[in-house]
Amino acid sequence: MNVQANPEKMNGHHSSVARHGTTEADVSETTGMALEETLLNPRFYTTDFDEMDRIDVTPVRAEWDKLIAQMKSDPNKGHFRKTADWDHVDWDGMEPELKKEFIDFLVSSCTAEFSGCVLYKEMKRRGNNPDICELFSYMSRDEARHAGFINDALREAGIAVNLGFLTKAKKYTYFRPKFIYYATYLSEKIGYARYITIFRHLEANPEHRFHPIFKWFKEWCNDEFSHGEAFALLMRTDPKLTESWQNKLWIKFFLTAVYSTMWVRDHARPRFHEALGVDIAWYDQEVFRKTSTIARQVFPLELDIDHPRWIPNLERMRHAFADMDRAKRAGGVTGKIAGWLAGARAALAFAALYTIPSKKNAVPANVRLEPAY
């Protein structure tokens, strides 16, 4: 499913790159991190934009118009600016391991936000359907602000990601529209759950707020919440997307993949979570729980994250990924074989997670939700 995007298809973004005259040689360390292609890193997506353009939102018109009016009113217009609340950050005084993990967190968040921006902007550019174009223009507006704001934080440390270059140089993964709905819906809702869980935790424990950006998370996550609502409505326009047995298997696949990836990634940043005063297993389970509760609005099933096989297999997967990483760095024939073995262990752990019986859910007649956490 991994395809290199056709550069011609992406030419809407070339101008900024050309203007800045960036070449490969200029790629900074953080831009390099954002470019990295691994199973765990945030990706850029492309899809069948013509098929998406044919969506007819008539079945959800009343709820659709309300959501669009709310996005049009742009409640966060002035939010993503540094104010007096932006305390001075002592980057040089930051403990090196924390600094490394925090930068990794910022770069991967920035890449994920910008990935949404690029996909949404492209949909808006290619579409002719006024409903779809309007929605995607508001969503790309929001994601551009989010990515830009994180990049401002990185810029203070002198390590901003070159987003124009990224648009051109990063590989694009092709997903059929329905996979875009499942994956993007989930990533928007999980984004909301992650931001609000950290925000609430730091509200109660402000001594752990080691960087001002966390103060911006509350209004921020409301944008992600609305974006998720839009995808919930899009899925509701075609009942087959969530009701056929094949699609239920796909939904379960995406839920398992997204949750287990988050578990592996978060556990790779122990020092960062320690500084926040957050227990990673608690945090991840809490985010899964919130996301699953929200997703009842549209998904006919949810994962059983309290099942006795859940956490042990997430842990198996995490160790397998760590071993794959080690094998890759070791290199040579032994490294290759060790890598395959670890890869097989990761696949088995994934299969064990995927086969945990899921919980059935009867979706409500009314799809819309408001942020409640």
Smallest distance from the beta carbon of 74 to Fe ion, in angstroms? 14
Nearer to Fe ion, 225 or 321 (CB): 225
Nearer to Fe ion, 185 or 299 (CB): 185
Alpha carbon separation from 68 to 21, 203, 207, 258 (Å, rounded): 37, 30, 38, 27
Of 2-10, 47-55, 154-162, 227-235: span binding Fe ion (CB under 5 A) = 227-235
Nearer to Fe ion, 143 or 284 (CB): 143
Binding residues among 305-334 for Fe ion as defined by CB under 5 A: none
Which residue in the set 43, 141, 227, 318 belongs to the binding site for Fe ion (CB under 5 A)? 227
Q: How far is it, in rounded angstroms, from Cα 34 to Cα 154?
A: 13
Give the closest residue to 29 by CA, choosing from 168, 166, 160.
160
Of 211-219, 221-229, 255-263, 297-305: span binding Fe ion (CB under 5 A) = 221-229
Smallest distance from the beta carbon of 193 to Fe ion, in angstroms? 12
Nearer to Fe ion, 354 or 373 (CB): 373
Smallest distance from the beta carbon of 224 to Fe ion, in angstroms? 4
Which residue in the set 113, 122, 131, 286 belongs to the binding site for Fe ion (CB under 5 A)? 113
Under the binding rule (CB under 5 A), the answer on residue 211 touching Fe ion is no
Q: How far is it, in rounded angstroms, from Cα 143 to Cα 228?
A: 13
Q: How many other C-beta atoms can be found within 10 angstroms of the C-beta atom of residue 62? A: 9
Smallest distance from the beta carbon of 150 to Fe ion, in angstroms? 9
Smallest distance from the beta carbon of 173 to Fe ion, in angstroms? 18
Give the closest residue to 123 by CA, choosing from 219, 221, 227, 20.
227
Q: How many other C-beta atoms can be found within 10 angstroms of the C-beta atom of residue 28? A: 15
The pattern of x and - marking residues 130 through 159 that bind Fe ion according to CB under 5 A reads -------------x--x-------------
Give yes or no for a contact between 235 and 298, defined as CB atoms under 8 angstroms apart: yes
Smallest distance from the beta carbon of 26 to Fe ion, in angstroms? 27
Smallest distance from the beta carbon of 225 to Fe ion, in angstroms? 9
Binding residues among 178-207 for Fe ion as defined by CB under 5 A: 188
Please give the single-letter amino acid code of residue 80: F
Of 90-98, 226-234, 264-272, 331-339: span binding Fe ion (CB under 5 A) = 226-234
> What residues have CB less than 8 Å from 160, skipping those under 6 apart?
28, 30, 151, 152, 154
Q: How many other C-beta atoms can be found within 10 angstroms of the C-beta atom of residue 309? A: 15
Nearer to Fe ion, 224 or 302 (CB): 224
Nearer to Fe ion, 225 or 350 (CB): 225
Q: How many other C-beta atoms can be found within 10 angstroms of the C-beta atom of residue 1? A: 7
Smallest distance from the beta carbon of 183 to Fe ion, in angstroms? 12
Nearer to Fe ion, 222 or 247 (CB): 222
Number of shown-chain residues binding Fe ion (CB under 5 A): 6
Give the closest residue to 328 by CA, choosing from 225, 47, 320.
320
Binding site for Fe ion (CB under 5 A): 113, 143, 146, 188, 224, 227
